[in-house]
Amino acid sequence: MKYKTKRITLALSIVLASTLATSNAEAEDSGIIVSPTLVKPLFEDGTVTESSGLGGDLVLMDDEIFMAIGGWGVVGRPDNNKIRRDIFDLHLNVGFRPDKDGAFIPFMSIGLDVLTMTTHEKTRTLRGTTLGLNAMIGVAGMIGDEGWIYKVNGSYLGAIVPGTGDDLGGLVLQAGIGKMFD
């Protein structure tokens, strides 16, 4: 337990330091986005159900930088013949955006995730917390002149979750809308 606490503390310290470091930067575009979230397990041979839920991000975009700080929570879809996974995530993604303005801004990023997962099997329930990595690609853009923003992205999330024996490899799909700050 002590080892898990140290890892979570380290991850949260990284997120906090990154947030403080970027708070002094003058971001051209920043806002909050809420996204329905779907996690599709990969490499599981159909033994694990999809999980769905909701996420949110604070998005900061400067001239060529894309940063998202946020989290999501998903719950496994019930199926008596398959394993269900409930996953809660806090993440920090940093990447770049080749376009500077407009309604269609592509971006790519890599990120660090703090994950808590509960695996529901037929005869037992297992829980674990770990760090994970993700690689994300997507598009974002402005909608009209009122400060609305959208973001559509897909990412691969990989992590080994102690306490569950699970090798969490999944595709995370999100499509959200939000509001920019003035």
pLDDT score for 151: 92
Strand-pair partners of 46: none
What pTM did the predictor assign? 0.80
**Bridge partners of residue 24, in order along the sequence:** none
Residue type, 91: H
Q: Is 102 helix (H, G, I), strand (E, B) or coil?
A: coil
- The answer to whether 108 touches 137, Cβ cutoff 8 Å, is yes
What is the pLDDT confidence band of residue 154, given thresholds at 50, 70 and 90? Answer: very high
Position 143 scores a pLDDT of: 86
Domains belonging to the chain, first-starting first, are: 2-180 (2.40.160.20)
- Give the DSSP H/E element, type plus range, for residue 17: helix 2-23
pLDDT tens, residue by residue, 41-87 = 887 778 889 999 999 999 887 778 888 999 999 999 988 789 898 99
Containing 173, the helix (H) or strand (E) segment is: strand 166-180
- Residue 71's closest CA among 20, 37, 21? 37
Residues 134-152: what's their mean pLDDT? 89
Tell whether the model's pLDDT for residue 175 goes beyond 90.
yes
C-alpha–C-alpha distance, residues 17 and 138, integer Å: 25
C-alpha distance from residue 56 to each of 9, 17, 35 (Å): 21, 20, 6
Looking at residue 167, what is its pLDDT?
Answer: 67
